[in-house]
């Protein structure tokens, strides 16, 4: 017997017993995003490599080390998307969505980075992304941060803390970069190897270092907030005042720089202490220059991404109440007349009671074996159809989760009965 093929390292299956967690999060995300007027856009997994080189930055770790890049059969260099913003901007430019228009969009799906797999960090990971285009003021910055806070409340998550910072305009950021490089070169012997490499390529990322030996060095580094001009400072102060008015607690962290080159002005992260080293569950910020950088007209923009696997782990750790995805009803049947009646009955009930989760038995077997499967399914009731019931136009309803009595119900009355029992609507023609 040949050895069974296993999944690619860092690319995980999401098994059915995890489905309730994912369904709970997906339903909450869609509800909250749509409550703020954001429309869903669906984007391809594969993009031209040049898109990410221009958007993310050629000297970032993502582009240099982590992207899944290859030549397709036509000889073009393509990459699996490592993040969603670049593809969303590309789609907006390509289809004219951003021309003199405000757009609020969201998307969902897998991203790919060749990293060392560990808890909370995988080579295929999933994100929900949000992007707003055409809005310059800090009001949309605050709106999206408030969206996150509402999502945490909707899910019942606690203990998440918000950190914010401003990187200023590209010119202000460049000026701060020079100040930082001058400071770090003066103490280069105190830098670790990774930071020395970043000093030549992406020095702001040194501020992200988790090396405790460098904590004192970085604490004394120049602050990016001191490099802000009047407009950037006013933008940030207005954002802080708006968050104060909304009652959203935050901490200004001048070391928060984010890992992608396109960010300007506001950046933010939502963090947790419950997931170990992978503490960021949501990150984002403003990127006013990216649309122009990718070939469109200059367009202000703000967005964020939620890390799905990390949120799922946090939901599990905090025992968030889950969406019920178990069947309402398990249909068991036996006998020739019942076997003829059961498929049509199941379809008629699904038509008559929208939202009814009805699992019909398949594969034969005795009533005893079928009831075992019904019990394992998690269904609330068994709908029992034998020869006598099929001939009489009836079925029995047998509770599976409590000690209630079994009842016989006419098939014609089943839609109204099941709709009432499970709080579901009846179809107009039922």
CA atoms within 13 A on the CB side of 98: 25
Q: Give yes or no for residue 187 having a pLDDT over 80.
A: no
Percent of the chain with pLDDT over 70: 98
Fold matches, 16-168+228-317 and 329-422? no
Residue 376: predicted pLDDT? 93
Lookup result for tokens 């107009």? 428
- For residue range 129-153, what is the model confidence (pLDDT) as tens digits? 999 999 999 999 999 999 999 999 9
Residue 18 token pair: 């995890």
User: Rounded CA gap, 129 and 41, in Å?
Assistant: 10
Q: Where are the domains of the chain?
A: 16-168+228-317, 329-422
329-422 has which CATH code? 3.40.50.800
Give the confidence band of 179 by pLDDT, cuts at 50, 70, 90: confident
16-168+228-317 has which CATH code? 3.30.930.10
Better-scored residue on pLDDT, 116 or 163: 163
Better-scored residue on pLDDT, 223 or 127: 127
Residue 176: predicted pLDDT? 86
Distances (CA, A) of 77 to 55, 89, 238, 240: 16, 19, 43, 43
Distances (CA, A) of 39 to 93, 135, 305: 17, 16, 15
């Amino acid at each position: 017997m040949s050895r069974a093929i296993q999944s690619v390292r860092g690319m995980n299956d999401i098994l059915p017993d995890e489905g309730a967690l994912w369904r709970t999060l997906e339903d909450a995300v869609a509800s909250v995003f749509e409550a703020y007027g954001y429309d869903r856009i669906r984007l391809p997994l594969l993009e031209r490599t040049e898109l990410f080189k221009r958007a993310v930055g050629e000297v970032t770790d993502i582009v240099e080390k982590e992207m899944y890049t290859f030549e397709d059969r036509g000889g073009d260099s393509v990459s699996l998307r490592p993040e969603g913003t670049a593809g969303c901007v590309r789609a907006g430019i390509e289809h004219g969505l951003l021309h003199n228009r405000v757009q609020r969009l969201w998307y969902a799906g897998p991203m790919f980075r060749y990293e060392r797999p560990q808890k909370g960090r995988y080579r295929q990971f999933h994100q929900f992304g949000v992007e707003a285009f055409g809005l310059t003021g800090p009001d949309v910055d605050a709106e999206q941060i408030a969206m996150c806070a509402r999502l945490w409340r909707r899910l019942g998550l606690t203990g998440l803390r918000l950190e914010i910072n401003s990187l200023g305009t590209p010119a202000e950021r460049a000026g701060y970069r020079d100040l930082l490089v001058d400071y770090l070169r003066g103490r280069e012997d105190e830098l670790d190897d990774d930071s020395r490499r970043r000093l030549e390529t992406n020095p702001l990322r040194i501020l992200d270092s988790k090396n405790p030996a460098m904590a004192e060095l970085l604490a004394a580094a120049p602050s990016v907030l001191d490099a802000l001009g009047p407009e950037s400072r006013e933008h940030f102060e207005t954002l802080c005042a708006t968050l104060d008015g909304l009652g959203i607690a935050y901490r200004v962290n001048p070391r928060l720089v984010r890992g992608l080159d396109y960010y300007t002005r506001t950046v933010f992260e939502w963090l947790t202490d419950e997931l170990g080293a992978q503490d960021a569950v949501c990150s984002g910020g403003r990127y006013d220059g990216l649309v122009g950088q990718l070939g469109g007209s200059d367009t202000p923009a703000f967005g964020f991404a939620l890390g799905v696997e990390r949120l799922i782990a946090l939901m599990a750790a905090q025992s968030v109440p889950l969406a019920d995805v178990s069947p309402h009803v398990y249909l068991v049947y036996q006998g020739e007349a019942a076997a003829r009646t059961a498929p049509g009955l199941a379809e008629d009930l699904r038509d008559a009671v929208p939202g009814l989760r009805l699992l019909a038995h398949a594969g034969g077997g005795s009533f005893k074996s079928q009831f075992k499967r019904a019990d394992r399914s998690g269904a609330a009731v068994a709908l029992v159809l034998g020869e006598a019931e099929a001939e009489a136009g009836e079925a029995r309803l047998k509770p599976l989760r409590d000690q209630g009595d079994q009842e016989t119900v006419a098939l014609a009355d089943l839609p109204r009965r099941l709709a009432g029992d499970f709080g579901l609507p009846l179809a107009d023609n039922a």
